[in-house]
């Protein structure tokens, strides 16, 4: 990798962390340059503006999540283990993200479009795992997974952007919300696995 590409990747990684931790509005290009010990001129030679850097940070963050998810899937013992591991990964990620991050993303059309595209890719994969769970007897076969995933997506968008739940963290709200849906579509066998998982997490 060339020195220029290496620096570019470091900038994207740093920007991704800062945007998620502090919110997009709070982070200036000056802040990112200072964090890396480079000049703002160097930063603008690699990224024309903040939106381009934000866009690349979204792509980087998605790839990071996908790589972690693939590792979890390889180590999972069955479908429910996959679902709960991915759910746990999601909660860990939500724990460190500033609430303003998702609200401010809406101001960048190109970034929103990229997030929607990535979200659709994820939905196909999750739906396949849910349908696999039906065959294993852990999810109800009368569940309309297409409708369920649409409702989940819309509700998660609302949860991460509304100010109604500002007394709670995104992690707390997501935890309550997602578990309610998982329990609802699970068979008694699936619910037993979920409750055992919750007990372990609580400990």
Which pLDDT score is estimated for 42?
Answer: 95
Is there a domain that residue 146 lies in?
A: yes
CA dihedral of 43, 96, 85, 137, whole degrees rounded to 10: -120
Percent of the chain surpassing pLDDT 90: 48
Which pLDDT score is estimated for 13?
Answer: 96
87 has a pLDDT exceeding 90: no
Q: Tell me how far CA of residue 160 lies from CA of 94, 102, 140, in angstroms.
A: 9, 6, 28
Which pLDDT score is estimated for 201?
Answer: 76
Which pLDDT score is estimated for 144?
Answer: 92
Is there a domain that residue 10 lies in?
A: no
- The residues near 11 (Cβ < 8 Å, ≥ 6 apart) are 32, 36, 38, 43, 46, 47, 53
**How confident is the model over 112-166, as pLDDT tens digits?**
888 888 888 788 888 888 899 999 999 999 999 989 888 888 888 888 888 888 8
Is there a domain that residue 57 lies in?
A: no
96 has a pLDDT exceeding 90: no
86 has a pLDDT exceeding 70: yes
> Nearest 5 degrees, angle CA 194-CA 102-CA 157?
50
**How confident is the model over 1-34, as pLDDT tens digits?**
788 899 999 999 999 999 999 999 999 999 999 9
- The residues near 162 (Cβ < 8 Å, ≥ 6 apart) are none
Which pLDDT score is estimated for 33?
Answer: 96
Give the total number of structural domains in the chain. Answer: 1
What is the distance between the alpha carbons of residues 122 and 117, in angstroms, rounded to a whole number? 9
Domain residues for 84?
A: 76-202
Is there a domain that residue 167 lies in?
A: yes
Q: Tell me how far CA of residue 76 lies from CA of 45, 71, 186, in angstroms.
A: 43, 9, 18
Which pLDDT score is estimated for 203?
Answer: 65
Is there a domain that residue 160 lies in?
A: yes
Is there a domain that residue 169 lies in?
A: yes
Q: How confident is the prediction for the chain on average, in pLDDT? A: 90
Which is nearest to 60 in space by CA: 121, 103, 115, 138? 115
What is the distance between the alpha carbons of residues 118 and 128, in angstroms, rounded to a whole number? 16
């Amino acid at each position: 990798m060339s020195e220029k590409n290496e620096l570019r990747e470091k900038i994207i990684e740093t920007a991704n962390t800062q945007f998620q931790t502090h919110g997009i509005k709070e982070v200036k290009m000056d802040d990112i340059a200072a964090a890396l010990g480079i000049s703002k001129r160097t930063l603008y030679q690699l990224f024309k503006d903040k939106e381009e850097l934000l866009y690349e940070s979204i792509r980087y963050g998605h790839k990071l999540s996908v790589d972690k998810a693939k590792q979890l899937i390889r180590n999972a013992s069955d479908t429910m283990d996959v679902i709960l591991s991915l759910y746990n990964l999601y909660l860990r990620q939500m724990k460190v993200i500033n609430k303003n991050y998702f609200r401010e993303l809406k101001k960048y059309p190109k970034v929103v479009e990229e997030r929607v595209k990535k979200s659709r890719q994820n939905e196909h994969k999750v739906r396949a795992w849910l349908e696999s769970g039906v065959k294993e007897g852990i999810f109800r076969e009368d569940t309309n997974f297409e409708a369920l995933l649409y409702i989940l997506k819309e509700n998660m968008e609302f949860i991460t952007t509304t100010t109604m739940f500002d007394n709670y963290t995104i992690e707390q709200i997501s935890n309550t919300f997602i578990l309610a849906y998982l329990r609802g579509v699970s068979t008694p066998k699936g619910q037993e696995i979920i409750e055992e998982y919750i007990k372990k997490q609580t400990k």
